[in-house]
Amino acid sequence: MNTSYSYTRVIAPSADCPDRSDSRCVRRYEKGISVDKNWTESGHSRRRKETKTGHSRAERPGSATLDFMAEPKPPLVFVTYSQDSPEHMAQVARLATHLRARIGLDVRLDQWDDHVRMDWSLWATEHLDRADFILAVASPAYKQRAEGGGPADEGRGARFEAARLRDMLTKNLREATERILPVVLPGRSVEEIPSFLNAYSTTHYRIHRIDDDGVAGLLAAMTGKGAHPMPERGRWLGTGERTRLRLADEVPWQAHDPQVRSAAADLGRVRYEHSIVLRGQARGVVDVDLGGKYARLTSAAGVLDDAREPFQVGTFRVSVDGRPAAEVTVTWGVPATIDVNVTGARRLRLEMSRRGAGPSPLHPGAGSPAALAWGDPALF
């Protein structure tokens, strides 16, 4: 999530909360928070919420105030599972520890809160309601209890939490489907996912090993950033309006020789209003960044009808991504047509030169001036 904002943290000691280092003693007042529309401070990543402005309460005497730019708050993640065996519990704890200690997610697991007497149903309810994401860990006992099977006096916690998941799905199927993430640990089977989580028609997360690569898919579901992001859409090349762009004046040139310019040209007694014309030197080049957006290049190519030396021979070359794609030789009064496939190409070079008089790489200044033109070159 690309959420960033500044806020004021106020730590106020009191009789019931004397320890400033205890996170429960921290009261957070947010000023002018700019919240990403796909993320809210209340938790659910898919709920949309606009910008909120708040004001802090009066600070107590002796309180300490610190202003700073906060890092984005990590997602709150709750783990629901069944205590099938000590080995399964240890594997669940390894996953939760990796996600919290290594990845930085705010993971909550019952094993970490068993040092205090509490109302476990209330504890589960609070975390299920507040969590941005809920990991439902597949196992034989979890599936059985989540579907109402087995002795009623066994696995009450898993039964209770699974019932809440079913209620969430019934209330808002789309939102709950995005929040509840079925997880299959190493050695476990997709068949152990409770049936109401639709393991075969919705996404599940198989973790082959508990490491960064193993949880990459799970992390992508929480961040919305996968390994294969959708590329930016290019220009539509199908039929319809504005599928043809004039290379002379509608597509930016990356580079060109100084004697090359956009102008009208007459080639073989045909007028081409949007041409690329070379006069005054023997060779001219135009480089264009295609960006992979085009499929086809078409153009006429010829000696200008008004050339002072009409009996010159012109050579026209097209290079695509540094490789020769087309070459034609023309004489006065007989222009040629060029049609080149440029699908997916990044770079285009158009070169025109006067044959026999044009400069070479060893003699760049040699040759008589040319009078040549690409007639109405266009990209599709």
Span 166-175, average pLDDT: 95
Whether 264 and 357 have beta carbons less than 8 Å apart is answered as: no
Which tokens belong to 148? Answer: 């109402």
Place 29 in a pLDDT band, splitting at 50, 70 and 90.
very low
Span 156-169, average pLDDT: 94
CATH class of 76-223: alpha beta
Query: Is 60 exceeded by the pLDDT of residue 144?
Result: yes
Predicted confidence at residue 280, as pLDDT, reads 86
Domains 76-223 and 245-379 share a fold: no
Q: For the segment 352-369, what is each residue's pLDDT rounded down to a tens digit?
A: 999 865 444 434 434 578
Percent of the chain with pLDDT over 90: 62
Predicted confidence at residue 247, as pLDDT, reads 87
In three state form, how does the secondary structure of the chain look? Answer: CCCCEEEEEEECCECCECCCCCHHHEEEECCCECCCCCCCCCCCCCCCCCCECCCCCCCCCCCEEEEEEECCCCCEEEEECCCCCHHHHHHHHHHHHHHHHHHCCEEECHHHHCCCCCCHHHHHHHHHHHCCEEEEECCHHHHHHHCCCCCCCCCHHHHHHHHHHHHHHHHCHHHHHHHEEEEECCCCCHHHCCHHHCCCCCCCEECCCCCCCCCHHHHHHHHCCCCCCCCCCCCCCCCCCCCCEECCCCCCEEEECCCEEEEEEEECCEEEEEEEEEECCCEEEEEEECCCCCCEEEEEEEECCCCCCCCCEEEEEEEECCEEEEEEEEECCECEEEEEECCCCCEEEEEEEECCCCCCCCCCCCCCCCEEEEEEEEEC
| Domain definitions of the chain by residue range | 1-73, 76-223, 245-379
Q: Please tell me what DSSP assigns to residue 364.
A: T
Mutual orientation of helices 156-171 and 120-130 as an angle, nearest 10°? 30
Query: Is 70 exceeded by the pLDDT of residue 76?
Result: yes
The phi, psi pair for 19, rounded to 5°, reads: -95, 110
Q: For the segment 47-61, what is each residue's pLDDT rounded down to a tens digit?
A: 333 333 333 333 334
- Rounded to two decimals, the pTM is 0.50
Residue 191 CB neighbours (<10 A): 12
Span 318-333, average pLDDT: 95
Q: How far apart are the first and last CA of the chain?
A: 38
* 256: Cβ contacts below 8 Å, ≥ 6 apart: 284, 285, 286, 287
Domain 245-379 part of CATH 2.60.120.1060: yes
Poorest-confidence range of 4-18, 153-167, 168-182, 282-296?
4-18
Whether 362 and 288 have beta carbons less than 8 Å apart is answered as: no
Q: Report the alpha-carbon distance of residue 10 to residue 8 in Å, rounded.
A: 6
The phi, psi pair for 194, rounded to 5°, reads: -55, 140
Q: For the segment 228-249, what is each residue's pLDDT rounded down to a tens digit?
A: 888 777 666 565 555 778 888 8
For residues 277, 282, 287, 293, the Cα torsion angle rounded to the nearest 10 degrees is 50
DSSP 8-22: EEEE--BTTB--TTS
